[in-house]
Amino acid sequence: MDRMLVVVFDNEVKAHQGRNALRDLDRRGDVTIYSAAVLAKRADGTTFVPEDDDPGILGTLFGTSLGSLIGLLGGPVGLAVGATAGLALGAGVDLDHARIGADFIDDVTKQLSPNKAAVVAEIEENWTAPVDSLMESLGGTVFRRSLSEVRHTVDQEEVAAMKADLAQLKAERAQARADRKAKLAEKINQLESGIQARMQKAKERREAVLREEKLKAQTLRAKAATAKAAVS
């Protein structure tokens, strides 16, 4: 099952140990890691993703479910990605892109207090025992949630409803008096803008999912190639 995993530790050193342990589980075949990062919170409450020994994470973080989750956990001021990267996530992140419920964000945020750190990862796992046992032995608190399906159907239904309202407003404007036409025109403009914004957001979500699927396929191909090389 495709899940988002967050394991909160008392400090950044422990979190890096947790991430390395998670990678060991991946190598043993107990889980498949699609992407993972360490997220740390400073004493002043600001959060950051440290410079990483996995150079791919900084390049693939943006526009993914993992990147959106990390941005949401960074809070309204966002977070720094890399000590010198000068990049930020946070305030503009859409909860729908993370494909995780707001209650999950709240639960993790309460546990991820200042000076603590977490491993945040998107993984595939068939059972929870391997991850839970290993992370808890390292002092981690485990949170996980299955990723929700992308809201294509909901988006289509909402846009269709808005277009129906738009058609009705235009029909009313055609028959309205001059003083009423101006008010209806304003409502029509607002609704048209809302439809365009909703369609653009849906498009961005679809594109993000396609990017993630491509990255996952690359991960699985790389694992298969490594396994083949090991037995040849």
* pLDDT tens string 147-197: 765 455 556 777 787 888 888 888 888 888 887 888 888 888 988 988 888
From 25-39, 64-78, 195-209, the region with the lowest mean pLDDT? 64-78
Q: Residue 92: CA atoms inside 13 Å, Cβ hemisphere, count? A: 5
Please determine, for residue 88, whether its predicted confidence score (pLDDT) is greater than 50: no
**Same domain, yes or no: 132 and 156:** no
**Same domain, yes or no: 208 and 101:** no
**Of 148, 171, 196, which residue sits at a domain end?**
148
Q: Which of 27-31, 222-226, 228-232 has the highest mean pLDDT?
A: 27-31
**Same domain, yes or no: 28 and 125:** yes
Give exposure, 196-208, as e/b (b: 16+ Cβ within 10 Å). Answer: eeeeeebeebeeb
**Same domain, yes or no: 117 and 9:** yes
From 15-24, 99-108, 175-184, 211-220, the region with the lowest mean pLDDT? 211-220
**Same domain, yes or no: 88 and 162:** no
**Same domain, yes or no: 25 and 79:** yes
Range of the domain at 17: 2-148
In 3D space, the residue among 111, 110, 98, 99 whose CA is nearest the CA of residue 69 turns out to be 98
Q: What is the pLDDT, as a whole number, of residue 79?
A: 52
**Same domain, yes or no: 98 and 212:** no
**Of 148, 165, 198, which residue sits at a domain end?**
148
For the segment 37-67, what is each residue's pLDDT rounded down to a tens digit? 899 998 988 888 876 644 444 445 555 777 7
pTM for the complete prediction? 0.66
**Of 105, 120, 148, which residue sits at a domain end?**
148
**Same domain, yes or no: 106 and 163:** no
**Same domain, yes or no: 89 and 182:** no
> Where would I find the beta strands (DSSP E) of the chain?
2-9, 31-41, 47-49, 79-81, 87-89, 117-125, 141-146
**Same domain, yes or no: 139 and 197:** no
Q: How far apart are CA 180 and CA 202, in angstroms?
A: 33
**Same domain, yes or no: 228 and 135:** no
Q: Determine the longest span between alpha carbons in the chain, in angstroms.
A: 81
Higher pLDDT, 144 or 178: 144
Please determine, for residue 2, whether its predicted confidence score (pLDDT) is greater than 70: yes
Domains contained in the chain, number: 2
